[in-house]
A and B are shown apart, each in its own frame.
Chain A
Amino acid sequence: MKSLFVEGNSAMHRVSARAKLLALAALGVVLFLSTNLLLLALAVVATAAIYFSIGLPGRSALARLKPVFLTIVIVALFSLAFNPWHVAIVALLRLTALMLFAAAVTATTTIAQFIDEITLLARPLERLGLLRANDVGLAVGLVVRFVPEILDRYSAIREAHAARGIKVRPTTVLVPLVILTLRDADNIAAAIDARGVRRHLN
């Protein structure tokens, strides 16, 4: 299984997981409070500087951002279709800055740290009887864990198409991708249960 975590000793690596997650949440709020183009552009430059300082080679750093950035461009284009141009630019800059910082946090935080912090954050809600903190932490950790797995599966399915000379179409890729992902999810769930991680279940 691959991981989005990148080993290193950058400033971001040295910051605690809790501080990074709180900073990410705060940045999200601040970015969405502002419509100042200059401020948002500066946020993009600053978060890009952080992201490209974590030790990832340039090409693979860009490759990681490609799918999310394409989605952001589509959102901005939709915004442009129905709103004045500056609204679309605001959306583009906000989401790009958020993506860059989130990518930096993900690349410098192990899944175990994610699970620990999210579990801790969810504890007060557990005390209110609303959820089980361990399950929330585990769920978030597994989402992060599965991202590279799903991308690998997608590449393997594309290669299988190419090997058989079949044109890649969304329908012929998505169906096997969903089936394989669900099968993987079942296997992981069985492994989690076999190790007694979700001990409240029976």
Chain B
Amino acid sequence: MDIRFEGAGVSYGARVALAPVTLQLNEKRIGIIGLNGSGKTTFARLINGLTKPSVGRVIVNGRDTADAKAVLTDVGFIFQSPQNQIILPIVRDDIAFGLKSRGYKPAEIEAKVEAVLQRFSAAHLAERRAHELSGGELQLAALCSVLVTGPDILILDEPTNQLDLKNRGLVQRLVESLPENAIVISHDLELVADYERVLVFHEGNLVADAPAGEAIRCYREIASR
């Protein structure tokens, strides 16, 4: 994974959502923390081209995110609400959905769907309907839907948000076990406590970029003001 922010920032009129940032990311696990509205999600959406920078540019694995089409192959994104992530109501259909548009043949799609279901021990969810799933199962289904296309980088936006302790533990173990590079946005400090690198955002600015312990201390100080 090689992500480079070259003075990339986002403004909406006079409002600065993210002040220009210059940095390079290539660690296996990166955490992003900050108060609500601090610019975390904007930063993450720049990585897969869902949001275009107003200034500067973002390069992911050598490709400019201005060409979102090219970047989307490399970057998978799991949104805050997995309910919104799941496009089709039946889990198997939803997992296959992203593959169809990539031109895979039906037999290839079936094989890839089965493989991802096996990989995450989620075969029992295949024929279930999304609205019947628990929070943890929904996250699992969303993960299968995104990883079935084989992205190199996975961005998870608040993956443990609204989950009970049991499902939170399930998602944490899942994220830890992923061979893919992962960027995790979270208010759940325990989730990112062992990460190699954690970025702290505050009021649209990157205010800390450090190993987890130091970054979390900085965040606690901001939150206590």
Contacts and interface: CB of A to CB of B under 8 A. Distances in A.
5 contacts: A1-B130, A110-B88, A112-B96, A194-B76, A195-B76
Contacts of B38: none
B89 interface: yes
Contacts of B77: 194
Interface string A66-101: 000000000000000000000000000000000000
- The SS class assigned to the B binding surface is mixed
Interface in B50-89: 50, 66-69, 72-73, 76-77, 79, 81, 83-89
Contacts of A121: none
B146 A111 contact: no
A195 B97 contact: yes
A142 B88 CA distance: 8
A202 B67 contact: yes
Given A202-B66, A202-B67, 7 more contacts: A111-B89, A190-B50, A193-B72, A195-B72, A195-B87, A197-B101, A199-B101
A3 interface: yes
B149 A194 contact: no
Nearest to A144: B89
Nearest to A141: B88
Contact of B90 (A112, A184, A202): A112
A145 interface: yes
Residue among A142, A145, A195, A201 having the largest count of chain B Cβ atoms under 10 Å: A195
Contacts of A1: 83, 86, 89, 130-131
Interface in A90-126: 110-112, 116
Interface string A169-195: 000000000000000100110111111
B87 A199 contact: no
B50 A194 contact: yes
Contact of A110 (B73, B81, B93, B101): B93
B98 interface: yes
Contacts of B73: 196
Interface string A1-32: 11101000000000000000000000000000
B162 to A, nearest CB: 15
A196 B98 contact: yes
A38 to B, nearest CB: 40
Contact of A195 (B69, B81, B145): B145
Nearest to A142: B87
A199 B102 contact: yes
Interface string B166-182: 00000000000000000
Interface string A128-156: 00000010000001100100000000000
Nearest to A194: B77
A134 B101 contact: yes
Interface string B82-120: 011111111001001110111000000000000000000
Contacts of A116: 100
Contacts of A196: 69, 72-73, 98, 101-102, 149
Residue among B76, B84, B102 having the largest count of chain A Cβ atoms under 10 Å: B84
Interface string B185-197: 0000000000000
Residue among A5, A111, A145 having the largest count of chain B Cβ atoms under 10 Å: A111
A15 B194 CA distance: 54
B98 A191 contact: no
